[in-house]
Structure 1
Amino acid sequence: MSDSTPRRNWLESLRRANLQLVGKLSVVAVLMFGFAYSLVPLYNAICSALGINVLSLSERQHAVKARDIKNTQIDYSRKISIEFDANVRGPWEFKPAVSHLEVHPGELTTVMYEFKNVQNRVMSAQAIPSYAPKQATAHFNKLECFCFNEYTLAAGEGKQWPVVFVIDPKLPKDVKTITLSYTFFEVAGKKQAAAPVLNGAKGSKS
């Protein structure tokens, strides 16, 4: 009995010491987490107090750069004539809103293309672009285009699609005219059934 008493006391002391150590480590972990969590609002508060906003300053500088680059890239000493062409392979209407435009290299330009399904059935089709002369292809940069996308239009439905483009100022000096041509054709295997004709209705030719 006398030998076991000191051992029990020693184990009890060790247990209390371990519990104290765990408690201290827990407190340290909580404090570290709280410190890390407060860094962002603390940083924002300091920046606000000193009148510094690194993020917004960076954004403003980036916006100014983008605006300057956009303006300085336009070559006002040159004009390029852009001709718009549309070819169809099927009974539908497809044409550009304008037949030609004159643009400066580096100038952002938008032109609309119009399409109408004049059939009495749903159809799926897509457009493929081509350029002339060939050396202009690498310098005709489209930011938005309906080409290569597949579209489904109901009977009699019409659509307008934009083409947003920029002519690269590095376009060779001897190129003064570029033709952008689209061929719009029905997607193979996507022909839809004709829409039902109402009683008494007469077909019309377009």
Structure 2
Amino acid sequence: MSTDDDKANINTSTGISNNNKTVRKLLLVVVAMFGFGFALVPLYDVFCDITGLNGKTNDTAATYEADGIDKLRTVKVQFITRNAKGIPWEFEPVINEISVHPGEMKLVSFYAKNNASHDIIGQAVPSVSPGLAANYFHKIECFCFTQQPLAAGKEVEMSLQFYVDLELPADINTLTLSYTLYDITEKSS
């Protein structure tokens, strides 16, 4: 006959065994979650590159393919700029918006002035909205392709040459190109 003490010992050892299994499972879940979180950013970048979502544009120059200009359609392209925290530059488009016909090449300029007392190297990072339109906005020449060193107190006009693809979906009539300017001086040293 088993006594109450024997039953308690069996229940205690079973409870400890179950607790160990639960702790192991929880630790495995934590490690898996950490690994997934670590891999999420590169996976997201690849996904955005493939689909064009999130407005990420190509980092390389496109070649202009003169397949014609759709004079029957006009698309408004808006330009927005912002400075990342800590970069004391004036940074703005020379014009805020322009009308283009798909297939037509355009050239616009952006103004920058370094208001700091020291030289700064800036890097502009573009995005297009709506995100789907990033696949149809082609930069031929862009200041965002290279780093922009600017001496203290100096100013510069930087150019963007682009065209909107003829295949831009008909329901998209306005594109917004946004640049965020970052100070990369320390990373460039």
TM-score bracket for this pair, using the shorter chain length: 0.5 to 0.7
Partner Cα separation in structure 1 for residue 149 and residue 158 of structure 2 = 13
Deviation at 1:123, TM superposition (A): 0.8
After TM superposition, the structure 1 = structure 2 runs for residues 47-196 of structure 1, keeping only pairs within 5 Å, are 70=66, 73-89=68-84, 90-187=87-184, 189=186
Partner Cα separation in structure 1 for residue 108 and residue 81 of structure 2 = 13
How large is the RMSD of aligned CA atoms in angstroms? 1.8
Deviation at 1:73, TM superposition (A): 1.3
Partner Cα separation in structure 2 for residue 136 and residue 178 of structure 1 = 7
**Is the CA contact 2:120–2:185 (under 8 Å) kept in the aligned structure 1?**
no
Q: Give the number of aligned pairs.
A: 123
Amino acid at match of 2:120: M
Amino acid at match of 2:77: I
Deviation at 1:185, TM superposition (A): 1.0
Partner Cα separation in structure 1 for residue 117 and residue 68 of structure 2 = 48
TM-score w.r.t. length of structure 1: 0.57
Relative contact order higher in (CA < 8 Å, ≥ 6 apart)? 2
Q: Which has the larger radius of gyration?
A: 1
Deviation at 1:188, TM superposition (A): 5.5
Amino acid at match of 1:138: N
* Runs of 4 or more consecutive aligned structure 1 residues displaced over 4 Å after TM superposition: none
**Is the CA contact 1:122–1:191 (under 8 Å) kept in the aligned structure 2?**
no
TM-score w.r.t. length of structure 2: 0.62
Q: 5+ residue gaps in structure 1?
A: 1-68, 193-206
Q: 5+ residue gaps in structure 2?
A: 1-64
Match of 1:147, SS?
helix
Identity %: 37
